[in-house]
Each structure stands twice: as structure tokens, then as C-alpha cells.
Amino acid sequence: MLRIIILILFLLIVPSVISSADHPYILVIQSLGISPYNEALAGFRSALEAKARGVGYAVLRVNEADQAIRERKPDMILAIGAEALRKGKKYQHIPLVHLMVLNPHSVLRNERNVTGVSMAVSPERQLSAIRRVLPDARRIGVLFDPDKSGSFLKRAMSSARALRMEIRAREVTSPKEVADSLLALKGTVDAIWMIPDTTAITPDTIEAVMLFSMRNGIPVCSFSAKYVGVGALMSVEASPFDMGRQAGEMAARILSGAKAADLQPTEVEHPVLTVNETVLRKLRLKMSDDVRARARIVR
């Protein structure tokens, strides 16, 4: 009789263990419940579920994560947003993939369990897009904080040389320096390139950048379409869904046995180009048919 009871218990327990192994569980930590984050998650799931069946999910806010990780012991953490990454990275025994983090290097400290997709579009792709929209622009003005964007700018200068463009950079260590730095660029640049530097680009400095553009007839090229709506000529930015798709492919590899440490963090593969046609007309510029066919046009 005892053997029968043991056999029954074994048959009840083993399927659940097998099921857990066959159907991995991912804990999703979202910094905010906003549309871009939801789009990124949709892209992640679409890519992962095409390669791995039966994946379980729980989507939680940052303040709910600790208890859920302790109780549910997920096979992987997906961190969407910088605060989510800060929370999840401390669980170094769990593989973590991050999304929608503008500057992940500012959060990470060489954790071996973390990989992901950066929101930043590579300088090569951004400058190539600027060249397509503004073929006559050769001198590109950039404001940057060396502590935050020094390595990005070094890479950008190399890319600019390959495109026969010149980066004319001004260092700023405080947002208060932005207005004077813009004046120093007057008459020396063909365009202003806004990079995602949190010293140079703040809600207060955006107004100064756009006023400089209007008063001097110099186009602004930005890293986010929201600035196209307030006066920038163009933007080159990541698609949340596409970033999610890339992260989902990474996650599939990890669930198949790869280590997060062996998967290099990556950048956006297919950025979205947005052009403001109203600004284009005000600056008396023309847009090629090729650009018009590729870009998202706003007015």
C-alpha cells in the first residue's frame, strides 16, 4: 500500500517538474505602465513565442519585484526601463535582459548576468540619416558632457570622418552653459545634432536649442520624435516594438542554454526616421524622393 502511495505521489510531482522545465517563467519588471513600454513587451513576446512555446509571464511594477522574485523564482527577468534594470540587476543568479534604457552603462557595473538592447541609436546610423536628409550639411554642431557622452562622441567623430562630415563639439558640464555654447557655434555649423546627453538636453535647454535654430536658420537633428514636434527638423530613434523583438531573440537564446554574459548588448537595428515637413519648408530645404519614401513625415 505504501508503495502505491509513493508511486502516485511520484506521478503527480514529476509532471509538474517537467512542465516547469518545458515552460519557462519570465518575470517582467516595468518602470512605468506607458505605451512605449507596452509596445516593447509586445515585440519581445512576439519574437520569443515564435521560438519558445509555453512561456509564462508576470508583469509587475518595480516595488512589487522583490517579493515576486523570492516567491516565484523566475527563469529570467525582463527589465523595461532604467528603474526596472536597477532593481533586477542585483539578482545576479538570474539571467536578465533589459529594454528601454537610454544609457544602460550608467546603471550597470559589469554584471555577468545582464544583456539587452540599448535605446540609443548608433552614431553611425544617426549620422548616415542626417547625411541623407541634409546632403549639403558638413559641419555638425554637438553639445555634450564628457563624463556622460565622451565615448559616444569619440565614436561619432570617427563615423563622421568616414562620411566626410566634421563634428564641431562644445563641452558642457551644466545645463546653464548650453545657451553660451550654442552662441559659440553660430556661423560655424550647418546643423545641430542633439544627442541623448542629460546635461546638454533638459526641458529648459530644449527651448534654447529651438530658438537658436529658428533665429539662425540652422536645422536641429534629434534622437526623439517628440522634439520634431517642437521644432527639430528630424529625428532618428528606436522603435519600441523592434527593440522588444531583438530582446526576445536574445531571451530565446538564453532559454536554450546560452549565458547572458556571452551575448553582447546590442543597439537598435532598424531605427525610425521622422522628418517635419513644415520645418523643412521654413528652412527652405528640399527632401529627396528616397528620404520621403523611407521617412515618417509629420507636419
Q: Kindly report each contact of residues 246-249 with a partner whose C-beta sits within 8 Å and lies 24 or more positions away, as own/partner.
A: 246/43, 246/47, 246/117, 247/40, 247/43, 247/44, 247/47, 247/78, 247/97, 247/98, 247/99, 247/116, 247/117, 248/43, 248/44, 248/45, 248/46, 248/47, 248/48, 248/49, 248/51, 249/47, 249/48, 249/51
Residue 31: phi, psi to the nearest 5? -65, -40
What pLDDT, on a 0 to 100 scale, did the predictor assign at position 1?
53
Q: Is the four-CA dihedral 64, 69, 74, 77 of positive or negative sign?
A: positive
H-run or E-run covering 77: strand 76-80
Report whether 249 contacts 78 (CB < 8 A): no
List, in order of start, the domains of the chain with CATH numbers.
2-119+240-262 (3.40.50.2300), 123-237+272-298 (3.40.50.2300)
pLDDT at 14: 40
Output the average pLDDT for the chain.
90
The pTM assigned to this predicted structure is: 0.78
Q: Is pLDDT at 20 greater than 90 in this prediction?
A: no
pLDDT(41) > 90: yes
Query: Is residue 219 scored above 90 in pLDDT?
Result: yes
281 Cβ contact partners less than 8 Å away, ≥ 6 residues apart: none
Work out the end-to-end distance of the chain between its first and last CA atoms, rounded to an integer number of angstroms: 80
- CB atoms under 10 Å from CB of 195, counted, come to 23
Q: Which residue has the cell 568616414?
A: 162
- Predicted confidence at residue 252, as pLDDT, reads 95
* Lookup: cell for 54: 509555453
Q: Calculate mean pLDDT across residues 61-80.
A: 94
Mean pLDDT of 81-93: 94
Whole-angstrom CA distances from 95 to 29, 92, 173, 193, 258 are 13, 7, 36, 36, 10
Do 249 and 46 touch, CB atoms closer than 8 A?
no
Neighbours of 259 (CB within 10 A): 12
Cβ count within 10 A of residue 54? 10
What stretch of H or E contains 274? strand 272-276
